[in-house]
Amino acid sequence: MKKYIKIDEWNIIEEGFDPHLNKISESIFSLGNGRMGQRANFEETYSGETLPGNYVAGVYYPDKTRVGWWKNGYPESFAKVLNAANWIGIEIKIDYETLDLDNCKVTDFKRVLNMKEGYLERSFTAELKSGKKLKVKATRFCSIVDDEAGAIRYSLTPLNFDSAVTITPFIDGDVKNQDANYDEKFWDEVHKETHHGSAYLNLRTKKTGFHVCTGMKFAIEQNGKIVEFSSVPVEREKYVANKVTLSVKEKQETVIYKYAVNLSSENHDKELLVHETKKVIEHISQKGFALMLKEQAQAWAAKWVESDIVIEGDASAQQGIRFNIFQLNQTYTGEDARLNIGPKGFTGEKYGGSTYWDTEAYCVPFYLATADEQVTKNLLIYRYKQLDKAIENAKKLGFKNGAALYPMVTMNGEECHNEWEITFEEIHRNGAIAFAIYNYIRYTGDAQYLNDYGLEVLVAIARFWSQRVNWSADKSQYVMLGVTGPNEYENNVNNNWYTSTIATWCMEYALEALATVKASDAAKYAAIVKKIRFKEAEESEQWQHIIDNMYYPVDERLGVFLQQDGYLDKELILVKDLPAEDRPLNQKWSWDRILRSCYIKQADVLQGLYFLEDRYDLETIRRNFDFYEPLTVHESSLSPCVHAILAAKLGDETRAYEFYLRTARLDLDDYNNDTEDGCHTTSMAGTWMSVVEGFGGMRVRDNQLQFHPFLPGKWASFSFKVGFRGSLLNVKVSKEGVQIINQSDKALSVNVFDKHYDLAGNAQLIVEHALAN
């Protein structure tokens, strides 16, 4: 845990340069625009500890799977988020000395991530070995308006010298991934060209054959005026640059404006890529830095209108939640149904792949409430488009008749996770994908989605579950053997309650969806039935038989659902009684000791009670919560949010707030000592859920938003924005009660503390209700 980020409501601020913290800051200060993103590496040379990271969404490399003992059914490769060409680079030489913060005295260092307007600023004074001092201020952003572009304003001012300065803006594609097998490099050069003040580098990924053309153009300003300069082209393999030598004077500011773009063959014709890159470079350099930045601020202002959370009385919490919202919004914009949200977003390469169940289980609620419904729809369509691959994947594992098993980790629909206990067994992910369809329709009311896309996915998932269970003659019930639940600290268990429960829920929902589509559009229904060769009577009957005869482990004495068969045979020592030095278990204990223990990594039974809460009475939820939480180590950042929401539901406001605190500033405070690898982007959505679903008690029931809020911790008030079926609400919770302002023209009805209210367009509702904290 570290506490070096200065508290500010709209900015993330680091003051003073500590090289030991650099990789953490590179993650925290990352930038992105949904289409591309990058870690907060320095523009100038840096020879200290750094993790270079530039990422282009959708561009990946299938690195060969490395496992000790190959198991049939393993994927051939592991899709890696690729470190792409570095477009920010500007090498600075003062006479013969290279500006390098690892090699000079740095003072007044300050890094600021302006979340309100979406840019990064860094300033410092450097004293070189020769005693020359210069002041640098760099501002940059990835534009969300021109989402293939980024821009940098890099200013340097000599403080005590006149001298020659060599400025070399470059594009460096000779990069590698930190975790590349055998240190292999993943890019080949296709083409490069260097002109006066501009350069282009077209690269192709090995194996996958993605082309990405990176272009740059720059201008230099002195005394506020653009200056003419002469430049020397520099070219090496996968590297293009322009070397410019200027004379600079004491106290005189020289500014370099560097415009850069990344165009990928995912969006452009390969043959025309260089040509198109030049066009986009022209477009943005004509616009200029100031206008681009202005548009960026406007675009971010629009995002905040829909998604901001305001916390009064706790600046640290305010900064934390805004940081989470900012990161989510710069990772996924929902404009492209081929893209998804990797656990690290654009902040690091760890985890590989871009899509886990995190998207459906954690991110979907965030985007549903804070963005246009098309954004979430695109996340669902992403899975729809990968249905064929999911069917193929299931087929490889022996399933048939159009059964689909979606991958645990993927880029293109193919499984790329290669630990058998997860690849083959952590199959509950299929449930989250079906649940997201349900959640989307529940929230938006867009039942047509079932006809257009959803039904096919639901049937394929239901088919999988129906084949994955087997009839136990001993129990005279269906069982599900050899699975891994969300709690990855148990593998190969029989009858994981959560997996079995979500499986039968999927079958029920698929049956319901079939009936809905049949009733709404008989012709469409007939077309789908034909396409997927659905044997209506036979398959529905089989699913219903499983639903009616599924075995779920329970312990009647304790009144709890059992995480899996045999769970109570374990030695049940509460987490609070574990020696502090044993935590975190995943770093201190051997894997087999963890597996044999009773400790739970993240919500498992409780994940099911969260998803399907309306099926269970409060006492059942309470008993399970009270039993499982004390055995949970929360070693996944996805864990505390589910517990915060359930604790809030159970009226345990203190604990709800405690759980929330565990992830609210997870990356800002490097809570788990792992932020240097990248931020926990998907779990940030969980933090949002803790506030809105937990403290705000927001639910959608019967086509209506319901709120059952409380005021946590030391907060004076909190308010959040939610969009719902065409209206935009600002919900404020304070000591006096709840105020809901309808910021749209559209009327709606809401339910607050179990009472129904009609709210006209642009009207407000005040529900007085004393809320103490």
Task: Compare residues 146 and 358 and give the one whose CB is closer to ligand BGC.
Answer: 358
Task: Compare residues 356 and 611 and give the one whose CB is closer to ligand BGC.
Answer: 356
237 three-class SS: coil
**Residue 327 lies near ligand BGC (rule: CB under 6 A):** no
| Angle of the 653-664 helix axis to the 315-331 helix axis, nearest 10 | 60
493 three-class SS: strand
Query: Which residue minimizes CB distance to ligand BGC?
Result: 343
Question: Minimum distance from CB of 408 to ligand BGC (Å)?
Answer: 8
The contact mask relative to ligand BGC for 591-620 (x = CB under 6 A, - = no) is ----------xx------------------
How far is CA 737 from its chain centroid? 33
**Residue 640 lies near ligand BGC (rule: CB under 6 A):** no
**Residue 488 lies near ligand BGC (rule: CB under 6 A):** yes
Number of residues interacting with ligand BGC: please give it, by CB under 6 A. 11
**Residue 707 lies near ligand BGC (rule: CB under 6 A):** no
- Which of 53, 353, 486, 694: binder of ligand BGC (CB under 6 A)? 486
Rounded Cα distance, 476 and 472, in Å: 6
**Residue 218 lies near ligand BGC (rule: CB under 6 A):** no
Cα–Cα–Cα angle for 385, 416, 602, nearest 5°?
Answer: 95
Task: Compare residues 204 and 417 and give the one whose CB is closer to ligand BGC.
Answer: 417
**Residue 343 lies near ligand BGC (rule: CB under 6 A):** yes
Rounded Cα distance, 66 and 411, in Å: 18
- Strand 704-707 versus strand 748-752 pairing type: parallel
252 three-class SS: coil
Residues 340, 382 contacting (CB under 8 angstroms)? yes
Q: Which two tokens stand for residue 242?
A: 């322009």
Question: Minimum distance from CB of 464 to ligand BGC (Å)?
Answer: 19
- Which of 276, 358, 414, 670: binder of ligand BGC (CB under 6 A)? 358
**Residue 158 lies near ligand BGC (rule: CB under 6 A):** no
**Residue 356 lies near ligand BGC (rule: CB under 6 A):** yes
Bridge partners, 36 (sequence order): 56
Q: What is the DSSP letter of 483?
A: B
Phi, psi of 283 (to 5 degrees): -60, -50
Question: Minimum distance from CB of 80 to ligand BGC (Å)?
Answer: 15
- Which of 177, 636, 690, 727: binder of ligand BGC (CB under 6 A)? 636
Task: Compare residues 563 and 636 and give the one whose CB is closer to ligand BGC.
Answer: 636
Helix count and strand count (H, E) for the chain: 22, 34
Cβ atoms within 10 Å of 526's Cβ, excluding its own:
12
Q: Which amino acid is at 488?
A: E
Task: Compare residues 53 and 407 and give the one whose CB is closer to ligand BGC.
Answer: 407
Bridge partners, 64 (sequence order): 77
Question: Minimum distance from CB of 638 to ligand BGC (Å)?
Answer: 5
- Which of 87, 357, 424, 688: binder of ligand BGC (CB under 6 A)? 357
Instruction: State yes or no: cis peptide before 584, omega within 30 of 0.
Output: yes
**Residue 682 lies near ligand BGC (rule: CB under 6 A):** yes
How far is CA 329 from its chain centroid? 9
Question: Which residues participate in catalysis according to the annotation?
Answer: 488
Task: Compare residues 88 and 666 and give the one whose CB is closer to ligand BGC.
Answer: 666
Segment lying near ligand BGC (by CB under 6 A), choices 352-360, 366-374, 395-403, 568-576: 352-360
Segment lying near ligand BGC (by CB under 6 A), choices 354-362, 437-445, 504-512, 741-749: 354-362
DSSP 504-557: HHHHHHHHHHHHHHHHH-HHHHHHHHHHTT--HHHHHHHHHHHHHTB---EETT
Q: Return residues touching ligand BGC (CB under 6 A).
A: 343, 356-358, 486, 488, 601-602, 636, 638, 682
